[in-house]
């Protein structure tokens, strides 16, 4: 079946990113936008655009499964791409699309159900013979039982929301006396953010690197990996800078991670694009599975830059049934995929680094972006005159730089950050410049604690 018209059930930069590949495939693009987003760029980048939701409710329309599917039916739309965030990992949207005869650009409903729960995802990893961290004995029943589990696992531990994401609902506990408070906080946060109070215990790794492997699987049993990304540079368990491939990663560890990711993909009978996330203990090189993200990720750009594979385009083709070895995707087998050079992505946000990263709002009075060799920008409404509202994510533009060598890619990022001129709203650019130029980053030696342990980044 050939898709003719595709709706992106999302907004801003990822909507525009998806329109680009969709257009290149000769498929008509459809945007949805809230009343508050009526001047947002993604609305104007699509061939057709429809307002959703009610004024004063900037988020609800993007989460309205029935509304989105009804709109798709009404306008003869035959595919829906959910992007990331919002409904991207919601099995109900995938099911509603299937019921309406609309292609859902993502994994099967069953896969979304299995992987949306971190505990059931851990089971799949274990079945595939991939190491997981100690703990994970199931949902904690009460503080007393949780405390016993934590003691068995051995402190430090991390409490995690079974249905969590985006770094929320997590608490590191180093001292048994702090267990109860941390458990209550994690439960409350998880219930508010994810509608579920389910928390589990996992061994905490003090000096960890976050390394993840990109997978692509088709509907015909072909499954490949597109190598790894290093997303160790994080603030509050959220990624800030991402790199492909991981600098200074032992070749044996790289091979093992890629193989483990494929084994998990096979175990889950994985279809479409997905990412298997691991933590690698920086002291021992031992690796552990943490979760699978069954969607396109913010940081997919760096993999695209080093492999030359358009992941979004592949997603759409896979969803319409095209096999990986078809000339349209041209990933005949694992051997046909290699990486070249290094790519680094920075997330430029409208957050004020001098004020605890408080989101800033208002009109962007001046906007001049960087350009030049080896640069890629993926932006939402980043232009002079655009208004940044408090309702949405503070991501303004993703800057990706490519170079043959890692330090050259880092210097290129710095050059571009210096080239940007953004006035009217505060951005995290000054912070990013210090981060990228820091000797630890330049040496490719960051662990997940780098930002927390480096106070000079905040001077
Ligand atoms: P989310 O789904 O919210 O992104 P993840 O399970 O992917 O949560 O974890 C996000 C980040 O939290 C990781 O990249 C890592 O920095 C930290 N983290 C999670 N689990 C552990 C652990 N067991 N030990 C050390 N750090 C962890």
Q: Per-residue pLDDT tens for 160-204?
A: 999 998 888 899 999 999 999 999 999 999 999 999 999 999 999
Lowest mean pLDDT among 113-122, 135-144, 348-357: 135-144
Mean pLDDT computed over 362-370: 97
Give the pLDDT of residue 166. Answer: 85
Give the pLDDT of residue 270. Answer: 98
308 Rama class: left (phi>0) / alpha (psi -120 to 50) / beta: left
82 Rama class: left (phi>0) / alpha (psi -120 to 50) / beta: alpha
Mean pLDDT computed over 91-103: 98
* Rg of the chain (C-alpha set): 21
Confidence of residue 395 (pLDDT cuts 50, 70, 90): very high
Residue numbers belonging to the annotated binding site for ATP: 118, 202, 237
- Ligand 1 centroid to residue 167 C-alpha, Å: 7
- List the catalytic residue out of 11, 122, 209, 295: 295
The distance between the two most distant Cα atoms of the chain, rounded to a whole number of Å, is 60
- Ligand 1 centroid to residue 450 C-alpha, Å: 14
Locate the ligand 1 atom nearest the alpha carbon of residue 448 and give its number.
16
Q: Per-residue pLDDT tens for 33-70?
A: 999 999 999 999 999 999 999 999 999 999 999 999 99
- Ligand 1 centroid to residue 69 C-alpha, Å: 33
Measured distance CA(257)–CA(397) in Å, rounded: 30
Mean pLDDT computed over 229-239: 96
Mean pLDDT computed over 103-117: 96
CB within 6 Å of ligand 1 — which residues?
133, 158, 164-167, 202-205, 208, 210, 234, 237, 277, 279, 290-291, 448
Cβ within 8 Å of residue 411, ≥6 positions away: 403
Of 190, 127, 140, the closest CA to residue 157 belongs to 140
What is the best residue among 290, 297, 447 to mutate for testing ligand 1's pocket, by most ligand atoms within 8 Å of CB? 290
Residue numbers belonging to the annotated binding site: 118, 202, 237
Q: Per-residue pLDDT tens for 272-289?
A: 999 999 999 999 999 999
Question: Which pair of structure tokens corresponds to residue 195?
Answer: 């509608």
Residue 136, pLDDT above cutoff 80: no
What does each C-alpha distance from 231 to 32, 164, 201 come to in angstroms?
A: 31, 18, 23
What is the best residue among 125, 202, 208, 287 to mutate for testing ligand 1's pocket, by most ligand atoms within 8 Å of CB? 208
Mean pLDDT computed over 412-426: 98
Confidence of residue 450 (pLDDT cuts 50, 70, 90): very high
Output the residue whose Cα is nearest ligand 1's atom 18: 237
Give the pLDDT of residue 169. Answer: 86
Give me the percent of the chain exceeding a pLDDT of 90: 96
Output the residue whose Cα is nearest ligand 1's atom 13: 237
Give the pLDDT of residue 134. Answer: 87
Mean pLDDT computed over 195-214: 96
- Ligand 1 centroid to residue 82 C-alpha, Å: 24
Contact assessment for residue 62 and residue 93, using Cβ atoms and an 8 Å cutoff: no
Question: Which pair of structure tokens corresponds to residue 449?
Answer: 């604690």
Active site residue 295: yes
Residue 335, pLDDT above cutoff 90: yes
- Ligand 1 centroid to residue 230 C-alpha, Å: 13
Locate the ligand 1 atom nearest the alpha carbon of residue 161 and give its number.
3
Confidence of residue 248 (pLDDT cuts 50, 70, 90): very high
Cβ within 8 Å of residue 372, ≥6 positions away: 415, 416, 419
Question: Between residues 334 and 168, which one has the greater pLDDT?
Answer: 334
Confidence of residue 1 (pLDDT cuts 50, 70, 90): confident
Mean pLDDT score of the chain: 97
Contact assessment for residue 104 and residue 5, using Cβ atoms and an 8 Å cutoff: no
What is the best residue among 210, 232, 278 to mutate for testing ligand 1's pocket, by most ligand atoms within 8 Å of CB? 210
- Ligand 1 centroid to residue 173 C-alpha, Å: 13
Locate the ligand 1 atom nearest the alpha carbon of residue 118 and give its number.
6
Measured distance CA(384)–CA(250) in Å, rounded: 45
Measured distance CA(140)–CA(152) in Å, rounded: 13
């Amino acid at each position: 079946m050939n898709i003719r018209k595709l709706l992106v059930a999302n907004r801003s930069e990822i909507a525009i990113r998806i329109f680009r590949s969709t257009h290149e495939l000769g498929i008509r693009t459809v945007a949805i936008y809230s009343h508050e987003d009526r001047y947002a760029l993604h609305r104007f980048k699509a061939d057709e655009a429809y307002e959703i939701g009610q004024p004063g409710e900037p988020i609800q329309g993007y989460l309205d499964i029935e509304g989105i599917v009804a709109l798709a039916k009404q306008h003869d739309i035959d595919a829906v791409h959910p992007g990331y965030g919002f409904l991207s990992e919601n099995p109900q949207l995938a099911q509603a699309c299937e019921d309406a005869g609309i292609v859902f650009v993502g994994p099967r409903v069953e896969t979304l159900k299995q992987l949306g729960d971190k505990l059931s995802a851990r089971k799949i990893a274990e079945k595939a013979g991939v190491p997981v961290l100690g703990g994970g004995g199931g949902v904690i029943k009460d503080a007393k039982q949780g405390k016993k589990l934590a003691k068995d696992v051995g402190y430090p531990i991390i409490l995690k929301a079974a249905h969590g994401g985006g770094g929320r609902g997590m608490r590191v506990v180093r001292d048994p006396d702090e267990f109860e408070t941390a458990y209550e906080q994690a439960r409350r946060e998880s219930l508010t953010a994810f509608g579920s109070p389910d928390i589990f215990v996992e061994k905490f790794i003090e000096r960890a690197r976050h390394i993840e492997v990109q997978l692509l699987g088709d509907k015909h049993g072909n499954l490949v990996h597109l190598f790894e990304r290093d997303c160790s540079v994080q603030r509050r368990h959220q990624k800030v800078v991402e790199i492909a491939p991981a600098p200074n990663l032992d070749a044996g560890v790289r091979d093992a991670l890629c193989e483990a990711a494929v084994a998990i993909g096979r175990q889950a009978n994985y279809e479409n694009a997905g990412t298997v996330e691991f933590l690698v203990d920086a002291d021992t090189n031992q690796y552990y599975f943490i979760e699978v993200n069954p969607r396109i990720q913010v940081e997919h750009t760096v993999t695209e830059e080093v492999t030359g594979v358009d992941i979004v385009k592949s997603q759409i083709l896979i969803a319409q049934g095209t096999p990986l070895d078809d000339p349209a995707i041209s990933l005949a087998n694992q051997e046909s995929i290699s990486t070249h050079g290094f790519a680094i992505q920075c997330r430029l946000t409208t957050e004020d680094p001098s004020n605890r990263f408080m989101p800033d709002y208002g009109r962007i009075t001046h906007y001049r972006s960087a350009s030049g060799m080896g640069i890629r920008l993926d932006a939402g409404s980043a232009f002079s005159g655009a208004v940044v509202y408090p309702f949405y994510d503070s991501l303004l533009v993703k800057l990706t730089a490519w170079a043959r060598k890692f330090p050259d890619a880092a210097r290129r990022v710095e050059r571009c950050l210096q080239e940007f001129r953004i006035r009217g709203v505060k951005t995290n650019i000054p912070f990013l410049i210090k981060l990228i130029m820091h000797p630890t980053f330049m040496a490719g030696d960051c662990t997940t604690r780098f930002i927390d342990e480096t106070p000079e980044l905040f001077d």
